[in-house]
Amino acid sequence: MAAANYLRSEDQFLCSLCLDVLTDPVTTSCGHNFCKTCITEHWNTNDRFLCPLCKEAFTTRPDLRVNTLLSEMVSQFRQSAQQDASSSSSEQQVSKPREVPCDVCAGTKLKALKSCLVCLVSYCETHLEPHLTASGLKRHQLIDPVENLDSRMCTKHDKPLKLFCKTDQTCICMLCPVLDHKTHEFVPLKEEYEGQKAKLGKTEAEIQQMIQKRRLKIEEIKRSADLKKQERAEKQAQAFIRELEQEISELMKRRTEVEQLSRFEDHLHLLQSVQTLNTNQPPATRDWTEVSVPPPSYEGTVRRAVAQLEEDLSKEMKKLIKVELRRVQQFAVDVTLDPDTAHPKLILSDDGKQVNHGDVKRKKIPDNPERFSKCFSVLGEQSFSSGRFYFEVQVKGKTGWDLGVARESISRKERIIMSPANGYWTVLLRNGNEYKAPGNRLSLRSQPEKVGVFVNYEDGLVCFYDVDAAALIYSFTSCSFTEKLFLYFSPCPHDGGKNSAPLIISPVRAVD
């Protein structure tokens, strides 16, 4: 209990200059305490003799003597803290090989719990306590324990690396822009870290797509070789497959590296690792687009083989889409409809999860600027200006609907053509079986009963999925998003009761 009491009052034993426990404490005439060495060095480097805390000026340099009473209290505090550390060390884990040890522990090194980027020291649970309780130390930045903290210092100026030079692609300290990088472009580490995180996410998606294409290519080559039934063709196919499998292995290794790197929360560690591994670019691979094993020219055999290949590829693609769906479903958001945007003839459920079209305009509905006046449409209450999000909508029993996202500045008082140029990224159904995207008529194997919509704001990607069939309906790529995006819904006119079923925002459940 004594140690706990000391820790709770530790602020009174800290020097405001070095933010550490006082050493040879001295007291100025204004009543403030400092380490004797700290205040001496402070006055040695200044023309005026001011108190660093209250700024009281002294006409002559004060003759400072060690405060005996305070010195004894500090000594008792240190002894109590050491005893507390000794009694608790047995309950903590001793540092093992490949684990970061505590830099403060004397003798047996305990496992570090955190590393301080200000002190450049790693601490076990006991020695970390002052950073969690002392007001001066609470401002220090703590991260998961890392080794080689000295590498976080500028080798030229001995200052912490806090900036990133975009010109030289290297981490620099606060003095570097003044002395060595005067004409260079530099940004805070955090800003460059966030940019690199986004690039890593895009690279990971590209690598996954490359892996999928090579797996499909292997199946295509195997099928062609089976049809050929010639030794030369089989050897050629085996050589291609070995090369493809090697590329897949390299791609999977790179994907793992990128995935692990993207989890780093330490800004400096991620940036230094990106420069070392060069993971923003997928590894060099062969273009397999035109590579094939020529099949025999037997028309009937070829027709049957092609049909079998299409079936196999369809099954494989369905598996891949299921994996992709499970991944994007992790970004599910809770969506509700915004009644202030709904056309007066639309009927919204009390919980904001369903909408359908009615015959009569609702009474006493204000014609506010956000409300649709010509189109039977409604927006979601939530808006998004970054990141990734996903939602699902039940469309079962409907002969017409529109779904997607729209930018904030769309026109809501007139009828317009829905297209990316006008701020809409949507897919629609007409006449019960005509599926369309802007400028495209879609051919679907089955009629979706539940549609999933995924958006990656930074990558400019909008994807629509048939959730139950685990099939991709359509994708908008290379979109340029510069405004807030809102979720867009239109149940379309009820068509004499044929299209009276509502659109229902459904809770997201992982596909089987």
Q: Provide mean pLDDT across the span 445-462.
A: 94
pTM for the whole structure: 0.44
Q: Pick 51 or 289 by higher pLDDT.
A: 51
Q: Provide mean pLDDT across the span 156-179.
A: 84
Distance of CA 312 to the CA centre of its chain: 35
Rounded Cα distance, 161 and 193, in Å: 13
pLDDT digits (tens, 9 = 90+) for 215-266: 888 888 887 777 666 777 778 888 888 888 888 888 888 888 888 877 777 7
What tokens appear for 182 in the block? 């005067």
Q: Give residue 67's pLDDT.
A: 87
Superfamily name and number for 331-506: SPRY domain (2.60.120.920)
Instruction: State in Å, rounded, how far the first CA of the chain is from the last one.
Output: 55
Where residue 342 falls among pLDDT bands split at 50, 70, 90? very high
Q: Which of 402, 389, 379, 383 is nearest to 461 (CA)?
A: 389
Residue the block writes with tokens 């070789």? 225
pLDDT digits (tens, 9 = 90+) for 71-126: 888 888 877 766 665 555 445 677 777 788 998 888 788 888 888 877 888 999 88
Q: Which of 494, 489, 495 is nearest to 354 (CA)?
A: 489
Write the class of the CATH domain 1-87. alpha beta
User: Which H or E run contains 177?
Assistant: helix 176-179
> Is 295 a residue whose pLDDT tops 60?
no
Rounded Cα distance, 74 and 94, in Å: 29
DSSP 257-289: HHHHHHT---HHHHHHHHHHH-TTSPPP----T
Lowest-confidence region among 22-36, 86-100, 409-423, 471-485:
86-100
Q: What percent of the chain has pLDDT over 70?
A: 90
> What is the DSSP secondary structure assignment for residue 150, as one 8-state letter?
G
Q: Pick 199 or 388 by higher pLDDT.
A: 388
> Is 59 a residue whose pLDDT tops 80?
yes
Residues forming a β-bridge with 475: 463
> Is 3 a residue whose pLDDT tops 50?
no
Q: Which of 385, 372, 379, 360 is nearest to 505 (CA)?
A: 379
Q: Give residue 156's pLDDT.
A: 83
Q: 3-state SS of 286-306?
A: CCCCCCCCCCCCCHHHHHHHH
> Is 296 a residue whose pLDDT tops 80?
no
Q: Hey, where are the domains in the chain?
A: 1-87, 153-184, 195-296, 331-506
Q: Provide mean pLDDT across the span 363-392.
A: 93
Q: Pick 320 or 384 by higher pLDDT.
A: 384
| Mean pLDDT over the full length of the chain | 84
Task: Please report, for residues 69, 156, 483, the alpha-carbon distance to residue 164 in angstroms, rounded to integers and kept in the order given.
Answer: 48, 15, 28
Residue the block writes with tokens 């601490």? 123
Q: Give residue 505's pLDDT.
A: 97
pLDDT digits (tens, 9 = 90+) for 485-496: 999 999 999 988
DSSP 440-502: EEE--SS--SEEEEEEETTTTEEEEEETTTTEEEEEE-S----S-EEEEEE----GGGTT-SP
Q: Pick 507 or 18 by higher pLDDT.
A: 507
Q: Pick 232 or 454 by higher pLDDT.
A: 454
Lowest-confidence region among 125-134, 346-355, 419-428:
125-134
Q: Pick 380 or 15 by higher pLDDT.
A: 380
